[in-house]
Amino acid sequence: MTGGGAPRFGVWAPVYGNHGARHHPHDAPDAGYRRNRDLIVHAEQVGFDATLVAQHVIHPSDVEDDVLETWSTLAALAEATDRIELIGAIKPLLLNPLVFAKIAGNIADISGGRLSINVVSGWFLPELEALGVGALDHDDRYAYTREWLATVTALWAGKQVDTGGRQPALARPAPRIVPPIYVGGESEPGRALAAETADVFFINGRPLADTEEVIADLRARRVGHPPLRFGLSAFVIARDTDEQARAEAAHLQALVDAEARPEISGGTDPKTQMYKVLAGTSRVGSNGGTLAGLVGSYDTVTKRIAAFHTAGIELFMLQFQPLEAELDRFATHIIPRFR
């Protein structure tokens, strides 16, 4: 089944400093707001359609590294940009649903309706432990997310909601345009949540055949709701020739392999489906990275994007390294082929 219209392209905001090798000689980690703002403004100008601002309050690669706060950043980006979709990740355990409904509703109006939310239940246990939110089991986090999201959407609809306090909660003003909901998480409770509540299911990068299986499963679960749309995360390495792209991929892989990331290996919930899928694989980038296979000549990458789009992927959320230079390369050589 072909995805409707032309594919859309987004870029992961460098809230972690960068994606890929932490010690790349031409892409030093910089998680500062100014860099993120300048990058997203530029991405909008050169033709990108969306950005994803991920959420961690503690850096998952190294707790000593900088990580940018998500929702204050999104408020500022809403003023700094004009067209690009702003997708903000939210871990329900980190914010009271009434407080979040007010924050996100305000940003939705500041942006003129360009805000979307990406609901993720959280996998980095040291972060949750440091915040003192309790060691909820994997499936219990999804149960909490379901209740939290129902509360937020009811508040956005202008309803009074009983949140267990002395007074029912009410979020005024409600956003004029309610943010679409992206759901990430590929475990059984994650897929069930997406099938029931999401507008878009966000898939971690993986080969085409595996992606088609995920899409087929989610479509089969979708009963009594509008069709589910799909996004895919991927790390792109595009060059004039396949050989040049493979050489660059090998270079980046060598840089990644030389790094030690104890927090990721020690802090991941073992029940997290993403890391079960990624176990034993070599890849560059987060959330599947180069596993999606967007590595090759401009023609090769174009054909692979087209194949994923035909399978049902509407939005490609992309990572690059060095970020600024490779984003421009993609905008110059790939995006025009789909316009």
Instruction: Compute the average pLDDT of residues 122-136.
Output: 72
User: Could you report the per-residue pLDDT of 243-302, keeping only the tens digit for each?
Assistant: 999 999 999 999 999 886 554 545 555 555 555 555 556 689 989 999 999 999 999 999
3-state secondary structure of 53: strand
Sign of CA dihedral 62, 255, 239, 278: negative
How sure is the predictor about 163, in pLDDT bands with cuts at 50, 70 and 90? Answer: confident
- What is the spatial distance between Cα 188 and Cα 180, in angstroms, rounded to a whole number? 22
The DSSP code for 306 is H
User: Could you report the per-residue pLDDT of 105-121, keeping only the tens digit for each?
Assistant: 999 999 999 999 999 98
- Domain limits for position 215: 8-338
- What is the spatial distance between Cα 203 and Cα 186, in angstroms, rounded to a whole number? 8
Q: Picking from 17-21, 40-44, 290-294, which range would have the lowest pLDDT averaged per residue? A: 17-21
Give the per-residue pLDDT at 297: 98
Q: Answer whether residue 3 is part of any domain.
A: no
CATH classification of the domain holding 86: 3.20.20.30
pTM: 0.91
Give the per-residue pLDDT at 265: 47
How sure is the predictor about 2, in pLDDT bands with cuts at 50, 70 and 90? Answer: very low
Q: Answer whether residue 1 is part of any domain.
A: no
Mean per-residue pLDDT of the chain: 90
- Residue (of 5, 104, 7) closest to 53 by Cα position: 104
What residue type is assigned to position 273 of the chain?
Answer: Q
- Count up the domains in the chain and report the number: 1
- What is the spatial distance between Cα 273 and Cα 114, in angstroms, rounded to a whole number? 30
Q: Answer whether residue 267 is part of any domain.
A: yes
Give the per-residue pLDDT at 283: 82
Q: Answer whether residue 332 is part of any domain.
A: yes
67 has a pLDDT exceeding 50: yes
Q: Answer whether residue 168 is part of any domain.
A: yes
Q: Answer whether residue 2 is part of any domain.
A: no
